[in-house]
Amino acid sequence: MNAPTGRVPRTMLAVGFVLDVPLIGVPEAAERVLDLWRADARLCELPDGRWLLLLPEPVRVRADRAPGLPLERTGPGAPPVASTPVPGSAAVTADGRLVLTAGGATVTHVVGDLPGLDPADWLDPTGLALHRPRPLGAAPAPEAPPVEDAVPAVPRPDLRAAAGILPTSERARRRTSGRAARWRTVRPISLAPHDAAVVVVLLVVVPLLMVVLLGLGLLRDSGFDPGGVVFASVLAALVYGLVYRRRAARDGGGTTAGTSGPAAPAPVPHRGRRPWLGDLLARFTLRTPAAHLLQRLHTRYLRDLTRAFEQQRWEEALRDALPLAGRERGETAAGRPWLSLALPRRFTGRLRPTPHRGGPVATNAISGPTVHQHLAELYRAAAERLERQGRFDKAAFVLADLLAAPAEAVALLERHGRLTQAAELAEGRELDADLVVRLWWRAGERARAVRTAHRRGAFATAVERLAATDPQAARDLRLAWAEHCRAAGDRLGAVEAVWPVEALRPSVAADLRDAVALGGPTRGRALPHLLALPDLTALGSGTATLALARAVLDGDGDPNATGRSVLAATLAGVSAADPATDRELATAAARAAVRDGGLGAGAAEHRLFDRLLGRADPLTAADLPRPRPRPAPRPGGAAPVHTAVDRPGTLPVLDAALLASGSLLVACGQAGARLLAPDGRTRAHWDTPTDRLVLADHGGGALLVTEHGPDLLGLARLDLATRTVRPWTTLRARRSAPSYDGHRLIAAADGGILVLDTTAPRPVAVWRELGGKEELLGGITRTAGGCAAIVRSPSTARSPLTEVWRWDLPGWELRARLRVDDALTDLLSRTDPADALEPVALAGGGLLTAEALPAGIDPDSGDRTVLRWTSGRPAAELTVDGRALLGPAADGDHWALTVPTPDGAGLRGYAGSGPCSAPGVSVLVPNASGDRIGVRQHAGAVTYWHRSGRVLATSADGTALLANLRVTVR
């Protein structure tokens, strides 16, 4: 029936309907139910024959067109209902009661007591043919999408082109071509050890031997001419050096001194060689009569160059100028540049201020202290004149490339609004990260600024530096910082980014609630911030948050695992918005600190406790004693031994980790991933096949890895706060690091290291290491501060060079290259990942190898296994009983070696951290064989697991057992 004219039909939110089955009949009622049916809907039968249909989500309907009598919800959060019952109305209360009003009477039913109806019973399968599907074979491996390469290129600002400097003049070409150019050009010569030995013998040993023999008088009457022998020896050395230089030039080695070329790779810290032969010849020449001729040439060059600058003939002067060698160029490891006799060549081609140089730059014989000071004053005066004339590009060229002062050039460009050029120059010359981020942000390249800030860890310093000049830009950068952390699942990181600005705090309320859901120390840090929000009632349930904070502070259990210590320490620095609530929580936190023996804050312990007492109830604060730290366990004694449960689990365990909340995240292969309580109960289950776990450092998320083949990995993103899994991509890679920072995943692919952005919708490579000539061997071990890998690279010798490379993260600065013993080269070159005793690199930069020793002559001594550490520190060695069948497992600096027990009925794992002569803990897995015991370090705990379904977790030192369970289907 249509509504009367001029009257708007009533609409309402209905949580269900009452269908009058006696009136409309069962077929019509069933059809209406099926039209409205949703997952989690419920159908019940009333005593009078009518049906009650409850929907999981309310729907908006018109009362005159509803399929039945609409139901409204009453109670907290629902719209107000008239106090006088309306005839023919129905409602559902918050406590699960159905209220019907009809004929002037009100009838109430308990929904939970009504008999249920199942719509599946209405289906009639009669006449349908049943077909059972048969397996068609293994499912084909998914195709891996191509990896998009987004590795940021190092900016190479061409200040010469920007300054408008013309090409080389005809006079310069005459001076730098032909014989005059060839004899003035000195190539740096880098000799192999055997070649260097030959030159040393010819230049030093033979002349010295002649002098000694002549001094002893042995050659006086022999008619032997020692001068001729010395001359022939020196001539042979020069010829040998010339032949070697031509061979190096033919092989692509060597560079011309004084010539500006393209960027070269960063020099290897401990393998750089000075061109000592050319340096020696140059210094020898300066002690001969030829030095006078060289001095005349250099003096004429300086006179012409000074006249060109004084007359402001900028094109000629800047082409002929000699770059000054500062700390960033021309300095060798010993702090002294090598010498060249060549006159400075005019710049040819394009001049690029490169961030890295392939080796030391030669200093000229004219680059004495006096000449250096003269040129520096000349260049600085030229830069000031060029800036006053409005020639900013030329002035920046003088500062950055001639004076070797790129910071001054960046400041000049920024003063005159050349922000993009200033940012490129600052990033190319590797200036302070906060300066680079600030310049890119002001230049409008905000995505690049965020990437740079993440890679170089410069968010906080960039915000502070930007706040001094542009507060609004600093505020926007804070919001971008928070969004960057939020995309990586780091809820507390997003909170810390915006918390200093009080107006931005409400924007992280959802992040705080997600952090509370993670439990453990993360919950302890989030609760005080959530209670400090000014309008907690509007943003969430303030009563529930306060009750949870009380329960944590008054609860039992380990103060670190439950987050009680973190909660009390955070309350000392963050006050609740409500004064009464703040006083109550401060009092409870002070009591908890006394009960637990402190706040776990180290040196700030007393200061934080005094803050709590100052805000606590005065009477309680007067009676509370100071916290007394509990006595620390005495070091020494035998290593603790922990035994796993004796029965295998019903599900395989391929990877496991104890989270900060106390829950265990377990990878069960094709059975998916599970989140378990410490007693083994399943808290969450995901059907995504999971062979490996890649945990985020902040503990808010993980990547579920499925191994489709030896070089094909399937990846899915798991958010532990919301417990949702989203498939991400399939990647062609051999291995991946066991952890990541929430944004960047490190994988071994294409013979090198590939760094992927996990927040992008498809695989995007944001950094590459190795590849090409250097080859990655084995896997990658990583911690939040660095990673290490075994690398094979070519060397000057015939055999390849095997080293352990260690980088600092997140900037990928190469910090160490440790040479590996040649005896291990064959073992490290094996490509089979299932190699019996495959060595592993520890994140600290050491190499851990295992060697199985046969039984000795003594019949009582059985098989043994020796663990050896190769590192920059004194070598360490550990010998254990039993013959290891597999190599050690490692995560970061933690390791575990598995050997069979003497009776052969189980496995024993010797575990520790870093080089040591005794294991830190022993783990026994009875009734197990085959695979080794895995190890995982995360959230201050160490987790051990075995494929047989046993998982065991201990504290970092191994003294406390945190979990011991078997994984089963429940």
- pLDDT band of residue 226 (cuts 50, 70, 90) is low
- pLDDT band of residue 429 (cuts 50, 70, 90) is confident
More confident residue, 195 or 927: 927
More confident residue, 539 or 396: 396
Q: In whole angstroms, what is the distance from residue 321 CA to residue 308 CA?
A: 10
What per-residue confidence (pLDDT) applies to 179?
A: 35
In this prediction, residues 450-471 reach a mean pLDDT of 87
- pLDDT band of residue 251 (cuts 50, 70, 90) is very low
Q: Mean pLDDT over all residues of the chain?
A: 77
- Is the pLDDT score of 170 beyond 70? no
Q: What is the largest CA-CA distance in the chain?
A: 146
Q: In whole angstroms, what is the distance from residue 549 CA to residue 567 CA?
A: 8
Phi, psi of 293 (to 5 degrees): -65, -40
- The tens digit of pLDDT for each residue in 525-583 reads 999 999 998 776 444 456 888 889 999 998 888 888 888 899 999 998 899 988 999 99
More confident residue, 831 or 751: 751
In this prediction, residues 515-531 reach a mean pLDDT of 91
- The tens digit of pLDDT for each residue in 783-803 reads 988 999 988 887 655 567 888
- Is the pLDDT score of 738 beyond 50? yes
Pairing, β 105-110 against β 69-73:
unpaired
Q: Are 540 and 509 in contact (CB under 8 A)?
A: yes
Q: In whole angstroms, what is the distance from residue 817 CA to residue 847 CA?
A: 11
Going from the C-alpha of 744 to that of each of 486, 705, 832, the distances in angstroms are 14, 15, 27
What per-residue confidence (pLDDT) applies to 925?
A: 93
* 740 strand-pairing partners: 696
Q: In whole angstroms, what is the distance from residue 862 CA to residue 883 CA?
A: 9
- Is the pLDDT score of 336 beyond 50? no
* Buried/exposed 524-554: b ≥16 CB within 10 Å, e otherwise: bbbbbbbbbbeebeebbebeebbebbeebbe
- Is the pLDDT score of 647 beyond 60? yes
- Is the pLDDT score of 439 beyond 70? yes
Which residues, 6+ apart, have CB-to-CB distance to 170 below 8 Å?
Answer: none
Which of 184, 165, 166 has the alpha carbon at shortest distance from 174? 184
More confident residue, 645 or 179: 645
What per-residue confidence (pLDDT) applies to 257?
A: 32
- Cis, peptide link before residue 810, omega less than 30° from 0: yes
Phi, psi of 482 (to 5 degrees): -65, -40
Number of other residues whose CB lies within 10 A of the CB of residue 625: 6
- pLDDT band of residue 651 (cuts 50, 70, 90) is very high
In this prediction, residues 373-380 reach a mean pLDDT of 85
Residue tagged 């959530």 (tokens):
530
In this prediction, residues 80-87 reach a mean pLDDT of 40
In this prediction, residues 716-744 reach a mean pLDDT of 91
- Is the pLDDT score of 191 beyond 80? no
Q: Are 707 and 691 in contact (CB under 8 A)?
A: yes
Sign of CA dihedral 168, 170, 172, 177: positive
As given in the structure block, the two tokens for residue 521 are 């120390």
DSSP states along 739-761: EE-SSEEEEEETTEEEEEETTSS
Cα 592 to the center of its chain, rounded Å: 35
What per-residue confidence (pLDDT) applies to 632?
A: 62
Residues above pLDDT 90, as percent of the chain: 19
Q: Say whether 736 sits in a helix, a strand or coil.
A: strand
Number of other residues whose CB lies within 10 A of the CB of residue 559: 24
Radius of gyration of the chain (CA): 38
- pLDDT band of residue 260 (cuts 50, 70, 90) is very low
- pLDDT band of residue 271 (cuts 50, 70, 90) is very low
What per-residue confidence (pLDDT) applies to 950?
A: 94
What per-residue confidence (pLDDT) applies to 704?
A: 95
The DSSP element (H or E) to which 551 belongs, if any, is helix 542-554
Residue tagged 């926007």 (tokens):
476
What per-residue confidence (pLDDT) applies to 674?
A: 94
Residues above pLDDT 70, as percent of the chain: 71
pTM of the model: 0.69
* 843 strand-pairing partners: none
